[in-house]
Structure formats: structure tokens, C-alpha cells
């Protein structure tokens, strides 16, 4: 599949934008880990896709090293208010669902890679880490851009994608890193 075909497929799947960057253009900053440690989302030390379970910032960055291209998929959704966490979560869940579906199609075509979705792994209704039980699907636990300590705003700028989308709009990113 050519780059153009893949980007077109992503738009057909319903993403607002899609772009591709060389993986070596992605920037990481271990200092960003402190935002996960603040645990405002409540997943730190609970969801297995999140720190500290997922790995140190250095280990996360090393995971991206074998790949050459970073496919970036973006959804921009409308919300009545940034206070409405339920509506924001609905946009994020729909974005992740589309991301999983597209990544599954790419894998079927032989494009193996590393998935990063928006927010913590949500394959299970409640992550078993909250009960101290083992992960139910350890073969793939997608971590989010924040867990990778990736500089997301810089990534969006490099890819020519909007990051702050203005009042009433939220933006979510997924990445799929491939050869």
C-alpha cells in the first residue's frame, strides 16, 4: 500500500486528518513523565498501559526505535463544553475504535507495527490492574502518547495538523509505527 493509499484509507475510515512522519522526527522528553505521576486521570499505577507498568521513558522511547514511519490519525470532535467529561470520553472512545479497526486492516495486509492510542488501554471494561489481577490481553497493551513522553504538540506541528482546535472542539491522536 502506498503512503497516499493509506492516508486515503484513514480518511475513508472517518478520521478528520491523517499524516505520516519519519519516526526519527518524533521528539520525547522524559520530564513529561511527571504529568503521569500527578495522576489526574487516576490510571497511574492502575492501568497496565500506563506508568510505571509500561516502562521508563527511556524504555518507551527505545520501543519506537525499530520503526521508520509514524502514521498519525486524528479525530476532531465537537463537545458542548470541556467540562463534559462524558462527551469527551465518547469522542475519544469512538476515535480509538476507528484506530483499532484501521490498525487491524493494516495488520491483515502485513503491516506489523506499534500502536499508540488515545488515553490508557481500554480493551477491558475495567482494567484488571485496578483489582491487582494480571492483564487479560498482555499480547498487546497499547500505551498512549503521554506514556511515551512524546512531545505531542511538536508532532502535530511537524505533521501540519491542528493541536488546539478552539472552543467546543477536542482533538485526539493515534499513531501506528511501521517500517
Q: Is 136 in the site for ligand SF4 (CB under 6 A)?
A: yes
Q: Is 43 in the site for ligand SF4 (CB under 6 A)?
A: no
Q: Is 137 in the site for ligand SF4 (CB under 6 A)?
A: yes
Least distance (Å) between residue 48 CB and ligand SF4: 4
Nearer to ligand SF4 by C-beta: 113 or 120? Answer: 120
Q: Is 36 in the site for ligand SF4 (CB under 6 A)?
A: no
Near ligand SF4 by CB under 6 A: residue from 9, 20, 21, 124: 124
Near ligand SF4 by CB under 6 A: residue from 135, 144, 145, 150: 135
Closest CA to 145 of 170, 176, 122, 116: 116
Cell 493494516 sits on residue: 106
Q: Is 103 in the site for ligand SF4 (CB under 6 A)?
A: no
- 48: cell is 497496565
Q: Is 100 in the site for ligand SF4 (CB under 6 A)?
A: no
| Footprint of ligand SF4 (CB under 6 A) | 47-49, 121, 123-124, 127-129, 135-137, 141
Amino acid at each position: 500500500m502506498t503512503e497516499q493509499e493509506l492516508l486515503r484509507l484513514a480518511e475513508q475510515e472517518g478520521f478528520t486528518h491523517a499524516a505520516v512522519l519519519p519516526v526519527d522526527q518524533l521528539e520525547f522528553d522524559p520530564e513529561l513523565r511527571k504529568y503521569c505521576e500527578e495522576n489526574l486521570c487516576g490510571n497511574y499505577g492502575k492501568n497496565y498501559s500506563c506508568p510505571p507498568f509500561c516502562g521508563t521513558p527511556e524504555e518507551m522511547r527505545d520501543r519506537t526505535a525499530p520503526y521508520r514511519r509514524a502514521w498519525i490519525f486524528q479525530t476532531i470532535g465537537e463537545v458542548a463544553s470541556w467540562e463534559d467529561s462524558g462527551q469527551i470520553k465518547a469522542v475519544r472512545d469512538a476515535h480509538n475504535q476507528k484506530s483499532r479497526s484501521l490498525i487491524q486492516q493494516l495488520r491483515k495486509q502485513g503491516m506489523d507495527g506499534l500502536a499508540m492510542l488515545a488515553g490508557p488501554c481500554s480493551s477491558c471494561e475495567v482494567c484488571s490492574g485496578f483489582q491487582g489481577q494480571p492483564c487479560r490481553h498482555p499480547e498487546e497493551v497499547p500505551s498512549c502518547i503521554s506514556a511515551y513522553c512524546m512531545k505531542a504538540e511538536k508532532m502535530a506541528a511537524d505533521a501540519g495538523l491542528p493541536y488546539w482546535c478552539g472552543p467546543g472542539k477536542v482533538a485526539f491522536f493515534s499513531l501506528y509505527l511501521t517500517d
